[in-house]
Amino acid sequence: MKLILLGAPGAGKGTVAKLLTKLDGSVQISTGDILRGAVAAGTELGMKAKAAMEAGDLVSDDLIMGIMADRLKEDDCKPGYLLDGFPRTIPQAEALKVMLTNMGEKLDCVVNIDVPRDVILDRLTTRRTCESCGEIYNVKSNPPKAEGVCDKCGGPVTQRADETEEAISNRLDVYNEKTAPLAGFYEKEGMLLTVNATSSDAVIEAIKAKIGK
């Protein structure tokens, strides 16, 4: 399947994407993971993105479109892809539309995961992420078996640099200003599925019902 997952930071896009990959072999593409990998590796891309990321601001549309133009051409995208954290601005959505048309591809739908702000805040402050494989944990509801060690790959499980209270609050403001308007954009395109659910399983069921898979 080919989906965009929309939703505020902490809405559960990454968790839902990971569950969906198991259904039909579609690949999760998280621009946040790609950028964090580049920062950790100290590449030129990472150096350009680091300051904006740590402050909870968006990285430039040009940088993101450059990443995605290459990423969507890779062979593992053939069975389908789940875009997690991209697009995040109207210009990115417009550029993606042109890119997909040129590639002769069509999305199944755009899923907008709508979760109340208090749930989001609680999730973001208690979320922990594996620095190596990106697996997501939660100190309250889903801690790793050994503290600070990833169950899946043994990598270090830590709090993201942009998950301080100040950066979280900025990320939510940026989301409301720059990314929330994408719901209207995709509604007009007739592609939007809004799901009001705090459970990932409920989101998965709504997606299956919508696209018939």
Which is the catalytic residue, given 2, 36, 88, 123? 88
Distance between CA atoms of 5 and 3, rounded to whole angstroms?
6
Task: Judge contact between 30 and 84, C-beta under 8 A.
Answer: yes
The yes-or-no answer on residue 73 being catalytic is: no
Distance between CA atoms of 150 and 80, rounded to whole angstroms?
27
Stretch that binds ligand AMP, among 80-88, 120-128, 132-140, 144-152 (CB under 6 A): 80-88
> How many residues contact ligand AMP, by CB under 6 A?
18
Tell whether residue 171 is a contact of ligand AMP (CB under 6 A).
Answer: yes
Q: Report, in Å, the least distance between residue 8 CB and ligand AMP.
A: 9
Task: Judge contact between 95 and 69, C-beta under 8 A.
Answer: no
Task: Judge contact between 140 and 134, C-beta under 8 A.
Answer: no
Nearer to ligand AMP, 135 or 213 (CB): 135
Tell whether residue 111 is a contact of ligand AMP (CB under 6 A).
Answer: no
**The 3-state secondary structure of 17-76, one letter per residue:** HHHHHHHHCCEEEEHHHHHHHHHHHCCHHHHHHHHHHHHCCCCCHHHHHHHHHHHCCCHH
Does residue 87 have a cis bond before it (omega within 30 degrees)?
yes
Q: Report, in Å, the least distance between residue 209 CB and ligand AMP.
A: 26
- Binding map of ligand AMP across residues 175-204, x = CB under 6 A, - = no contact: ------------------------------
Six token digits for residue 134: 């990106």
Determine which residue in the list 11, 35, 65, 192 makes contact with ligand AMP, applying CB under 6 A: 35
Interaction site with ligand AMP (CB under 6 A): 9, 31-32, 35, 52-53, 56-59, 64, 85-88, 92, 162, 171
Active site residues: 13, 88, 127, 160, 171
